Amino acid sequence: MVVGDDLLLEVKDLKTQFFTNQGVVKAVDGASLRIRRGKTLGVVGESGCGKSVTARSILGIVERPGRVVEGEILYRRSLDGNGATYEELDLAQLKPQGREFRAIRGSEISMIFQEPMSSLSPHYTIGNQIAENLLLHQEMTPEEAREQTIELLRQVGIARPQLRVDAYPFQLSGGMCQRAVIAMAIACRPSLLIADEPTTALDVTTQAQILDLIQSMQQELGMAVMLITHDLGVVAEVADDVAVMYLGRVAESADVDTIFHDPRHPYTRALLRSIPRAEGAIRERLNPIRGMVPDPFNRPSGCVFHPRCDAMEQGICDGQAPRMVEVAPDHWVSCWQTTE
Amino acid sequence: MEETQVIRDRQTQQVAEESEARIYVASQWLLMWWKFKAHKLAFYSGIFIVLLYLVAIFVEPLAPSDPYGYDSKFTYAPPQAVHIFHGGKLVRPYVYALKQEIEPEALRRIFTPDRETRIPLGLFVKGTPYKLWGIIEGDIHLFGPLDQEQTVHFLGADRLGRDMLSRIIYGTRISLSIGLVGVTISFFLGTLLGGISGYYGGAIDTIIQRVIEFLRSVPTIPLWMGLAAAVPSNWPPLRIYFSITIILSVIGWTGLARSVRGRFLALREEDFVICARLDGASEYRVIMRHMVPSFASHMIASITLAIPGMILSETSLSFLGLGLQPPVISWGVLLQEAQNIRSVSSAPWLLLPAAGVIVAVLALNFFGDGLRDAADPYGR
Amino acid sequence: MTERKGTENGKLLQVQGLRMHFPIHKGGLLRRMVGRVKAVDGVNFYVRHGETLGLVGESGCGKTTTGRCILRIYEPTDGQILYREVQGSTVDLTQVEGGALDRYRKEIRMIFQDPYSSLNPRMTVLDIIGEPLRNFEGASGGELEDRVAEMLRRVGLRPEYIRRYPHAFSGGERQRIGIARALALSPRLVVADEPVSALDVSVRAQVLNLLVDLQDELDLTYIFVAHDLSVVRYICDRVTVMYVGKIVELAETEALYREPLHPYTEALMSALPKPDPRLRSERIILEGEVADPANPPSGCYFHPRCHYAQDKCTHIEPELREVQPGRYVACHFAEELSLRGVTRSRRDN
């Protein structure tokens, strides 16, 4: 059972929709997640599953024409440093542009994105941008901000930080830019860092460095991490808990070992069977998932996965959407077949 | 209850599938059209432009009077309002005749509506004879006074008593068409030179680009003044007309050339272009079949946006007396009459041709914007 | 599955001393060359008929450039590309000019990485797949349609889709169209440039299976360019690891994964995230960034990041040597180092 003070953020039945000319896209259609204080939640899914939109909904930065239409995003702000006493805020109710949200965004909950080059403005030095975050949220002089920026750059492993602080993003490589972005995100010691595919655009060796960095920062600052990725390997390496998303809903969520060794949802199982592994046999036949991710305008009825599911039962799975059921302590599945 | 839900979902699924199939086989032009239609402002502007050009085509029957016919009795006559009520009842539209008095101090003619005399109006009335497009004879006008002996000035008259509305209508033909001719010339020049520049690169590209930059850095008005002054004034109006359009195209092609060059440069590196070469396509085929369709829509949008520039250029040139001259009628020539403050303050309707320019240019801009937004329907 | 149909296992393509240097220009009117990007800097390997050779490495290693040189998309700065024709004669592709190249463009084809930019959005599937048939074989009308429909069926797409435009298809389906286009002329050698990197995880399996099936059906030889070591293991018989324009190791897949001989290969394998939390291990984290091909380090290009580097490595560039039969390494200390490969796990799903 998740202890009360263990839970940092809880998303309940979140629905985020995009109102386009061609119709309404239900990017997130009833997703529920739990992020524990100080732990890493890996959110896995393929394109169109809504994981990025979920992250943006939490931070109130969903682009137009989308917006959160339903659900709760319960953030437990600690009042004493370790979560024993806290106040609960529903972020879905706050005005996205409002002052309250802006005070949280960037200082208590931060986000880093996939393309480090586009996360940084090319017009300002990285020192300038990191210091901006500090000055926005904390009381300090520009000189103090600069000092702290140099220290942050050192913490994220950028060599010769006192020189690099005045560098422009185009002068740095992809890996270094991502480190700078991480420095910017952790500058105010957030309690939650959301990382949206932070390593997808990087080389494998650089990816290892960055993941290593995120993990060490997590330990140092005691912050929770919500890591969004499509790479199951990355999730296996760094996550404590995992949520598997498909077409706007959470199919299954549990701790990482359970997901990989005792998956119950047919999608999770099929996904694990279909990925190529470095330890697999050479030229061994892979087991792809049948069919294709459906068009977002054309969502299947009932359980959204049913057209591709081997365990599908006519009349049940294509009728009503299944609810998330706790099949074992902290192991939630939304599947008619598993939870009957 | 659940079953009906399921059935309804399946039906919507079927309908969705069918409408999807339409999208799947839609060519880029169809997709562009759909996207364009959704942009309301651009769409209605487009309709408006079509109407404007219809006016330009059917100028002769649309103008209620002879644009060249001057009448000293009606110099600076004010606009006459059309009324449709009389004594509280709906009647045939009419205007009040004008009473004239000479004001003793300044010896100015003062016109006041004569509420006793009504001049009824009608559709498809007989009026001054004309030759449509110079070939078809006729004398039926779309609207005007029932009695063709009566003089009506809906938008007032100018210094020589000529009817403003008729002159403005006649002005559309020249003002709107000069844009087209100029733009066509710019189009060919711009595409050719821009294409060569972008496709071959290297020295040719450098030379062409420097020429473009040189042309663009020359101040336009003095350049036009110089070129216009070089056009002999004793040439027939038509020849002058074409000379003016060529002058306008001299600068106009540079914008399109740059944008075409940019597209070529970008497209050269696209995977599908490389693939076309690997697939054995000749250079000609690669350009015409693979690259050109990719920016054809952008070019159309650029051209449409260039037309208002041409219209404004002609209007400015003629207004300054450097372009077309009377008796040729264009909006710019008409605005020459509005050059001195005294006439304008006593007869503000002389500025109405400007309204024509503004309206046409705005409509074309909105239309061009809509085209440009729709031009890339594949925006990822 | 490692048994390959032994047609004739001779060398189909041999690359020797391949160099591809891109000049860096600076300055306005008169452009001066201020340096060179040595994208490919002396590469030697061969591909046997019927096998799949992997070209693996991170960004800037030159794997994609090598593939493009083979197809003569780029003109190699130096080196030879020896291609064995059907009749048995060998021709150096770098010496073939203009129209004569067409003959080889039919036999050596490419599958591109990005399914979105490699298909012209303004052409129908029929046009796209039919393009090579039209140009090389003059096919048209009904015959063209039949052949394209046949290719669509071969790659697992419905022939009715022939009139659709690319925007009607998902990433995986587009890649299939790209594959159909590449194979329409029954080529002998196919360079697949990261064909699954841009696809969703569950779709990769479908496309990889398709590639393997087609290789058997059509007797194809693949050069498979990739950065993902887990994908490479599935489809490649032999693997070449590249770093900053040079080959650092070349070996049979099984041997490479069991025991790499080059520190960079070891680091790559170690950095690979394994999809099993029970396999978490101490990973080798390399220092610094991938070297810049315009300004590579002295001696062995990898030495600044190598945990085993010694003084010799800073000055002397190691040569690619055959240290065991069929195993090539470019490292001074290949024989002495004992490096860790990828452990095989018991699959217990």
- Residue-wise pLDDT for A115-172, tens only, equals 888 889 999 999 999 999 999 888 899 999 999 999 999 999 888 889 989 999 988 8
Model pLDDT for residues B76-86, shown as the tens digit of each residue: 888 888 888 88
- Residue C126: pLDDT above 70? yes
Among C110, C120, C174, C181, the strongest candidate for a mutation testing the B interface, having the largest count of B CBs within 10 A, is C120
* Nearest of B193, C171, B227, B358 to residue A292 by alpha carbon: C171
Residue that has been written with the tokens 């498809």 in this structure: B124
Is the CB of A301 inside 8 Å of chain B's CB atoms?
Answer: yes
Q: What is the mean pLDDT of chain B?
A: 82
- Residue B180: pLDDT above 80? yes
ipTM of the complex: 0.84
CB A50 within 8 A of CB A28: yes
Task: Kindly list the partner chains of chain B, i.e. chains with 3 or more CB atom pairs below 8 Å.
Answer: A, C
Q: Do B10 and A301 touch (CB under 8 A)?
A: yes
* Nearest of C217, C176, B15 to residue A292 by alpha carbon: C176
Average pLDDT rounded to a whole number, residues B46-59? 91
Average pLDDT rounded to a whole number, residues A24-34? 90
CB C89 within 8 A of CB C174: no
For residue C30, the model assigns a pLDDT of 61
For residue C346, the model assigns a pLDDT of 40
Is residue C1 very low, low, confident or very high in pLDDT (cuts 50, 70, 90)? very low
Q: Do B38 and A301 touch (CB under 8 A)?
A: no
Model pLDDT for residues B314-365, shown as the tens digit of each residue: 888 888 887 788 888 889 889 988 888 877 888 888 888 898 899 999 999 9
Least confident piece of the model among B188-202, C214-228, C303-317: B188-202
| Domains, in order of start, for chain C | 11-118+187-329 (3.40.50.300)
Q: What is the mean pLDDT of chain A?
A: 87
Most confident residue range from B219-233, B291-305, C161-175: C161-175
For residue C3, the model assigns a pLDDT of 40
For residues B313 and B247, what is the distance between their CA atoms, to the nearest angstrom?
A: 10
Average pLDDT rounded to a whole number, residues A276-294? 75
Work out how many CB contacts closer than 8 A connect A with C: 164
For residue A39, the model assigns a pLDDT of 92
Write B140-147 long-range contacts (CB < 8 A, 24+).
Answer: B140/B61, B141/B61, B141/B62, B141/B63, B141/B64, B142/B61, B142/B62, B142/B64, B143/B64, B144/B64, B144/B65, B145/B64, B145/B95, B145/B119, B145/B120, B145/B121, B146/B119, B146/B120, B146/B121, B146/B122, B147/B119, B147/B120
Q: What is the CATH class of A4-108+188-339?
A: alpha beta
Are β-strands A40-44 and A224-229 bridged in parallel, bridged antiparallel, or unpaired? parallel
B168-374 CATH: 1.10.3720.10
Q: Would you state the structure tokens that stand for residue A207, as one six-digit string?
A: 């990816």
R_g (Cα) of chain C, nearest Å:
21
Query: Burial of A268 by CB count in 10 Å (0-12 exposed, 13-18 middle, 19+ buried)?
Result: buried
Nearest CA in chain A to B1: A319
Is the CB of A20 inside 8 Å of chain B's CB atoms?
Answer: no
Average pLDDT rounded to a whole number, residues B90-104? 82
How many of the other CB atoms lie within 10 Å of CB of B15? 10
Q: Do C205 and A279 touch (CB under 8 A)?
A: no
Please, where in chain A does CATH 3.40.50.300 lie?
4-108+188-339
Nearest CA in chain B to A297: B16
Q: Do B2 and A319 touch (CB under 8 A)?
A: yes
- Residue A323: pLDDT above 90? no
- CB contacts of B380 in chain C (<8 Å) are 116
- CB contacts of B278 in chain C (<8 Å) are 71, 73, 105, 109-110
Torsion-angle region of B297 (φ positive above 0: left; ψ -120 to 50: alpha; else: beta): alpha
Average pLDDT rounded to a whole number, residues B264-270? 86
Q: Do C201 and A230 touch (CB under 8 A)?
A: yes
Model pLDDT for residues C69-96, shown as the tens digit of each residue: 999 999 999 999 999 988 888 999 989 8
pTM (predicted TM-score): 0.80
Model pLDDT for residues A242-282, shown as the tens digit of each residue: 999 999 999 999 999 999 999 999 999 988 888 877 666 66
Smallest CA–CA distance, residue B364 to chain A, in Å, is 24
Q: Do A288 and C286 touch (CB under 8 A)?
A: no
- CB contacts of B271 in chain C (<8 Å) are 112-114, 117-118
Parse chain B into domains and list their residue ranges: 60-162, 168-374
- Residue C344: pLDDT above 70? no
